[in-house]
Structure 1
Amino acid sequence: MLPWTAFSLALSLRLALARSGAERGPRASAPQGDLLFLLDSSASVSHYEFSRVREFVGQLVGLLPLGPGALRASLVHVGSRPYTEFPFGQHSSGEAVQDAIRAAAQRMGDTNTGLALAYAKEQLFAEVAGARPGVPKVLVWVTDGGSSDPVGPPMQELKDLGVTVFIVSTGRGNLLELSAAASAPPEKHLHFVDVDDLHIIAQELRASVLDAMRPQQLRASEVTSSGFRLAWPPLLTADSGYYVLELAPSADPGTVRRQQLPGNATGWAWTHLDPDTDYEVALVPESNVHLVRPQHLRVHTLPGERGAGGGAAGRGQDEIPPPPPPEEAGPERIVVSHARPRSLRVSWAPALGPAAVLGYHVQYGPLPGGAAQRVEVPAGRNGTTLQGLAPGTAYLVTVTAAFRSGRERALSAKACTPDGPRGRAPHPQTP
């Protein structure tokens, strides 16, 4: 009887903790969180484009449960210097937020997105600036695809704080760079869409934002052939417990690496992993105060060469993978020409370090979100003709340079075919 009595007492205690936590936490019907909209308000965006983006953000806000005890919104302009249209907590209803968005004027100037991201971290998402502790943070960045200053480091600082990053690109941009800037997986957090078609993704983005507002969400970013970063919202505090991180290859679950972290931690970087490998990740919160369930995630490292002594053995866990060598720079410019109803010519400035280039992959598909096709182009060429296209259709074209080191560098652009007869299209041809 004693073992069963001890088990019953333990179970009752855990259920009581779960019930008390549920009473203190937000209801599922009214998610809590801080939502920051970052809009490209610079001179690189036309007045028409800015008005369509503003209309889209207002539409998205109308679909979200904003108000006291629920979601709060803030709007920041990207220009020569960041400008806050309204901070968190200024407007207490969705209608008030929509009115403020409609009244927002374009700021013009340079596209200093990195400066705006650093500003958001220090002035908006910081608790000393009024951000609510313990609630999810979400950033929706709407951009035409470019920035005058580096975006990667300040964006990573936000993600290390547990901020979930969604990116909506209405123009051309480096697909790999934007994928790295968005939260993982990029196919869920990165959207390429024409400015006139933004309304198409409103419902999908709403569902994704609400999903990101749910607590206990473990995410991976900066996935390379040898490592990745993990981030999660604040689930504990330094005084209420600690975390145990576990990592193991899916094919060999007995080979486990563990790392203990304090309760105020919200991120960790695993390094010196094997390329092209599935890894199982577990985040186990240990606390006698709060009942928080473990979280699990599967991450696949990118392909690459398996060097001698790779993997976890004999390596430190706090090293960051070295940056790619500067000579491996991908295509710098994409030119679309000879556009026909069913074909168009794509050419690009060759990648630097031609001796190290194995070739190019050209991937193209109709916007938004159509099935993509791929064409292989030899290293000595810097152009190809895409055939079998649909008339009067916008396509997202991505040119990727593949290097002998296993790294890849890519650039994306939007291309449109002119109107024409819509009969049966010929099959796409490889150049």
Structure 2
Amino acid sequence: MSALNFCQGDLLLLLDSSGSVTNFEFSCFLLFAADLLCPFSLGRGHVRVALLQVGTSPHLEFSLEGHDKQESLEESLQEALRGVNQLQGDTNTATHVAQQLLLKTRQDVPKLLLWLTDGVQPGAVEKPMSELKARGVSVLVVYTMHGNHQVLKRVVTPPVESHLYSVDIDSIDIITEDLREAIVRIVCAEQLSVVHLTSRSAVLQWRPFLTVDSGYELHLNSVSTNHPEIRKLLPRESSRAELSDLQPETRYAASLHPKSNNRLVRPPHFLV
């Protein structure tokens, strides 16, 4: 898979390093993170990533400003696999550090916190995580099968089904694609825009982002009437679409669906 160079946002990896996490689980989480982020273009103007290892005391392995190229992130994660010592101790979500990292940066890009944890005795995390969510941070969690599901369910931002994953650590890779799609939907939430509008036509525009030999499927639905859905197939290199024969004084919802590997990535909808 080629780099996803259309995404922009700040992502904090919160890596559980407490004593209840085995060395094997710790290594699997790092390998999983490396694979999950591999397709993204990294650095300023793209996706910036920080890694915070959490135990009794938090330790920032690298900051949002620490990597300008995708290769540097891969090297850092590989280095972490070889050289980082697990902190052990008690679980400490270090939300004050997360707030400093995510909230004292640019406010015009999406911000995400991805917590990789065994989920065992997560502690009093609901209030500080709620504060982060109230400030616009999307919270996603991956936890092993022995974690406290009810607490973690309250921690993540909706939709729970795509932001909370319980996994067998031996097969954690089965969620990589779904979790990556969830991240894409957050960091590309403003991908589609209206650049020209009349009573009967509209021109939609987006930054081209497909990196495979497929294309887009544009869906247009009237919100308040029963007009049939309009669908347009567009080539991979497309960056705009002209829509005609629209009904006056009618509100439409448009969505752009990248078709990759014969499946549709589910993006947010946009009103026209």
Task: Select 1:206's aligned residue among 180, 190, 193.
Answer: 180
Which residue in the other structure is 2:133 paired with?
159
Q: Which amino acid aligns with 1:79?
A: G
Deviation, structure 1 residue 214:
2.6
Percent of counterpart pairs with the same letter? 37
Q: Which amino acid aligns with 2:159?
A: P
Distance 2:78 2:124 in 1: 29
Which residue in the other structure is 2:216 paired with?
none
Tell me the secondary structure at the aligned position of residue 119 of structure 1.
Answer: helix
1:120 equivalenced with 2:98 (yes/no): yes
Which residue in the other structure is 2:157 paired with?
183
Superposed, 1:301-316 pairs within 5 Å as none
Distance 2:25 2:6 in 1: 33
Tell me the secondary structure at the aligned position of residue 102 of structure 2.
Answer: coil
Which residue in the other structure is 2:147 paired with?
173
Higher relative contact order (CA 8 A, sep 6+): 2
Tell me the secondary structure at the aligned position of residue 116 of structure 2.
Answer: strand
Deviation, structure 1 residue 216:
5.8
Distance 1:85 1:55 in 2: 15
1:88 equivalenced with 2:88 (yes/no): no
Distance 2:145 2:36 in 1: 20
Deviation, structure 1 residue 186:
0.9
Distance 1:213 1:148 in 2: 27
Which residue in the other structure is 1:6 paired with?
none
Distance 1:99 1:88 in 2: 15
1:194 equivalenced with 2:168 (yes/no): yes
Tell me the secondary structure at the aligned position of residue 31 of structure 2.
Answer: helix
Superposed, 1:29-48 pairs within 5 Å as 30-48=6-24
Tell me the secondary structure at the aligned position of residue 103 of structure 1.
Answer: helix
Which residue in the other structure is 1:132 paired with?
106
Cα RMSD (Å): 2.3
Contact 1:41 1:106 survives alignment (8 Å): no
Contact 1:33 1:213 survives alignment (8 Å): yes
Q: Which amino acid aligns with 1:100?
A: S
Distance 2:36 2:107 in 1: 25
Task: Select 1:106's aligned residue among 85, 101, 108.
Answer: 85
Q: Which amino acid aligns with 1:203?
A: E
Deviation, structure 1 residue 196:
1.3
CA deviation vs aligned residue, 1:211-248 (integer Å, no higher than 9, x gap): 1113469xxxxxxxxxxxxxxxxxxxxxxxxxxxxxxx
Deviation, structure 1 residue 148:
5.5
CA shift in 2, pair 1:147/1:78, >3 Å: farther
Deviation, structure 1 residue 166:
0.9
CA deviation vs aligned residue, 1:177-198 (integer Å, no higher than 9, x gap): 1111011121111001111111
Tell me the secondary structure at the aligned position of residue 58 of structure 1.
Answer: helix
Superposed, 1:211-290 pairs within 5 Å as 211-215=185-189
Deviation, structure 1 residue 88:
0.3
Distance 1:108 1:215 in 2: 36
Which residue in the other structure is 1:349 paired with?
none
Q: Which amino acid aligns with 1:118?
A: H
Distance 2:175 2:39 in 1: 12
Which residue in the other structure is 1:79 paired with?
55
Distance 1:29 1:73 in 2: 14
1:144 equivalenced with 2:118 (yes/no): yes
- Report how many aligned residue pairs link the two structures: 188
Q: Which amino acid aligns with 1:161?
A: R
Contact 1:38 1:75 survives alignment (8 Å): yes
Comparing both structures, which one devotes a greater share of its residues to helix?
A: 2
Distance 1:67 1:124 in 2: 15
Distance 2:119 2:44 in 1: 34
Tell me the secondary structure at the aligned position of residue 124 of structure 1.
Answer: helix
Deviation, structure 1 residue 149:
3.1
Distance 2:145 2:17 in 1: 14
Contact 2:121 2:148 survives alignment (8 Å): no
Deviation, structure 1 residue 29:
5.0
Q: Which amino acid aligns with 2:130?
A: Q
CA deviation vs aligned residue, 1:43-87 (integer Å, no higher than 9, x gap): 211111111111111111112222331110000011001110000
Q: Which amino acid aligns with 1:75?
A: L
Tell me the TM-score normalised to structure 1 length. 0.41
Q: Which amino acid aligns with 2:103?
A: A
Structure index of larger Rg: 1
Contact 1:111 1:149 survives alignment (8 Å): no
Structure 1 stretches lacking a partner, 5+ long: 1-27, 218-292, 296-431
Deviation, structure 1 residue 171:
3.2
